[in-house]
Amino acid sequence: MAKTTCPVAGIDRAAGTIAPVAETSYELTVAEVRPETREAVSVVLEVPAEHAEQFAFAPGQFLTLAVPSERTGLVARCYSLCVPPGEPLTVTVKRTRDGYASGWINDHLAVGDVLRVLPPSGIFTPKDRSADLLLLAAGSGITPVMSIVRAAMRDGTGHVVLLDANRDEESVIFAEPLRRLAEAHPDRLVVEHWLETDRGLPTQEQLRDFAAPYAGRDVFLCGPAPFMAVANAALRELGVPRARRHQERFVSLATNPFVD
């Protein structure tokens, strides 16, 4: 993954179209910095009433944040929202190896700080919150998927199956919220945690077998590139058409949207 990364601001995987990212940024105050694991925090941002419309979002979208940098003044980074629409604007940031921005947010960001933020963007979002879904996530890829799960359970009637792959039990982001959601919706939500320490990295064959009973559903996929490559291969093997395979990809930002 390149140093400056962002989810594609709207690649429609069926049509190949690109939705533009908004250019107007806003200053938002940090209301809470909540630890999720030893390597990840969730950041809650206050949205003034006059900007509520600009920061309305759909499940699975992301925000672009301006992070202070001693070398360049500001660097732009994109982080996915982890909450359903209507809840306080919250992104989750996992520390990445040699990741300046994610490290700064985890180590230095505090309540009362002010961040410059672009409005929500992205099309990694279900068209129907009552649809039956298959969700495949790994590592911090659970963040936009968690937004989708929460919205589906709160607002929809569909059945959702989630596979969440992580290195070990301590690295599982949202372990407790997922447990509570599964207990609250036992007939609608199935969560399977895949731990590398117990089962190794998931293979194409294993993901194919897991996904096979749900191959008729829309699939939302997010995680590190190797995981997504294996998962996509498994889905293609099952005959899941491209129009029903939705994935959040990461590409380098060509320019810094916060620099004139």
What CATH number is associated with residue 232? 3.40.50.80
Q: Which two tokens stand for residue 114?
A: 């002010």
Q: What CATH number is attached to the domain comprising 78?
A: 2.40.30.10
Residues 15 and 86 in one domain: yes
29-87 pLDDT, tens digit each: 999 999 999 999 999 999 999 999 999 999 999 999 999 877 667 889 999 999 999 99
9 with 117, same domain: the answer is yes
Are both 148 and 113 inside the same structural domain? Answer: no
pLDDT in tens, 188-218: 999 999 999 999 999 999 999 999 999 999 9
Residues 221 and 118 in one domain: no
Residues 143 and 33 in one domain: no
Q: How far apart are CA 64 and CA 155, in angstroms?
A: 26
Q: How confident is the model at residue 251 (pLDDT cuts 50, 70, 90)?
A: low
83, 104, 123 - which closes a domain: 123
Cα–Cα distance for residue pair 162/130, rounded to 1 Å: 15
Enumerate residues 6+ apart whose C-beta is below 8 A from 55.
26, 47, 89, 119, 120
Domain boundary among 66, 97, 123: 123
Asked if residue 155 is part of any domain, the answer here is: yes
User: Which of 259, 241, 228 minimizes the C-alpha distance to 13?
Assistant: 241
The 10s digit of each residue's pLDDT in 120-163 is 999 999 999 999 999 999 999 999 999 999 999 999 999 999 99
| pLDDT digit string, tens, across residues 100-115 | 899 999 999 999 999 9
109 and 195 co-located in one domain? no
Query: What is the DSSP code string of 85-123?
Result: TTS-EEEEEE--TT-HHHHHHHHH--TT-EEEEEEEE--
Q: What is the pTM of this model?
A: 0.90
pLDDT of 258 reads 82
| Residue of 160, 157, 167, 183 whose CA lies nearest to 60 | 160
Helices 225-237 and 204-211, axial angle in degrees (round to 10): 60
Sorting pLDDT into bands at 50, 70 and 90, what band is 15? Answer: very low
Domain count, the chain: 2
- Sign for the CA dihedral angle at 4, 23, 115, 175 comes to negative
**Is the residue at 257 inside a domain?**
no
Q: Is the pLDDT score of 22 beyond 90?
A: no
Largest alpha-carbon pair distance within the chain?
A: 52
Is residue 158 located within the same domain as residue 227?
yes
Domain boundary residue, one of 66, 101, 123: 123
